[in-house]
Structure 1
Amino acid sequence: MPQPGCVRPAKRSDLVRESGMAALAILVSVCAVAVLLVFRGVALARRRGSVICRVRRGNQGWRSGVARYVGGELHWIPFLGLRLRPRHAIARRGLTVSSRRRLTTGEGPAGYWTVECSAERGPLFLAMSEDALTGFLAWLESAPPSAHLDAV
């Protein structure tokens, strides 16, 4: 008979059940976050005027995301992240394409092209499909005549 004020020792089966429930709660939480991130990525990619695009600054690795044309800027939003605001806002004014080439097999997805751009903050590399590249170049060329005066 337990004495008053004493705590009854936990049974092994109670400890196993509690740890199993904690592990299940953690697993459900991780799955819920993963589903929300996938839903966010699909919603970003399906927006009108959006293209799947990778960005690289300097010697950093490629980061996948979605690019959208908003007025005179190209907004880039990463796939992984919680924010819906763009990580990069690349102004068309003063943006020039230095070079473009098809990505090699080890660099990225098949059929993607990389474009090296000279921007305000230094060189910027964009990787996108051939169709997206055509749209990007058309967007650059459709700038008003005074837009490239700063690039000289």
Structure 2
Amino acid sequence: MHTVDIIAVCAAVLVVVVATAVLARQRYMLRMSGSLPMAVQRGNRWLYGIARYQGGELRWYRAIGIGTRPSRVLRRGEVEVVARRGRLDSERGALPAAAVVIECRSDDETFALALGDSAYTGFVSWLESSAPRA
């Protein structure tokens, strides 16, 4: 066997191991209580991930990756829902037809989240269970 063949086999095995680790992480996180699939809009792109309620925070983890830290953390008393809408025609390929898009504000930042209808109800209930903003 040539050195090039050995390197190619090792690279292929590495790709399979990393892909398996990413998928195993996703399955593990979705099975945890308080987890739900959620997309976050960054610029014109939607990034998919898994959100998890933990105490007074909603922690969002990117779907692709093996990191253990959340990519975004929303604190319950600091988030305000500005608007709710369905998927736009321009988002047809990026979001499922049943997606609920909510535009939120936290501090001075406005951002959009996409989730399922029942997850939206849970998100709003979670927000409403916080102490009122001053």
Partner of 1:50: 35
Instruction: Tell me what 1:25 maps to.
Output: 10
CA RMSD of aligned residues (A): 1.5
SS in 1 for 2:133: helix
Which structure 1 segments of 5+ residues have no match?
Answer: 1-13
Name the structure where strand makes up a greater proportion of residues.
2
Aligned to 1:122: 109
**Could you tell me the TM-score, scaled by structure 1's length?**
0.80
| Residue 90, structure 1, aligned to residue 77, structure 2 | no
Q: Normalising by structure 2, what TM-score?
A: 0.89
Aligned equivalents of 2:45 and 2:39: distance in 1?
Answer: 10
Q: Kindly report structure 1 stretches of 4+ aligned residues shifted beyond 3 Å.
A: none
From 10, 16, 25, the equivalent of 1:40 is 25
1:111 to 90, 95, 98: 98
Alignment coverage as a number of residue pairs: 131
2:41 is paired with a residue of what secondary structure? Answer: strand
Aligned to 1:138: 125
Name the amino acid aligned to 2:25.
R
Determine which of 80, 84, 99 is the counterpart of 2:64: 80
Match for residue 6 of structure 1? none
SS at match of 2:45: coil
Residue type of the partner of 2:47? R
Q: What are the Cα deviations for residues 100-127 of structure 1, in whole angstroms up to 9, with x where unaligned?
A: 1111334411211100001125001110
The structure that has the greater radius of gyration is 1
Q: 1:120 to 1:60 in 2, by over 3 A?
A: farther
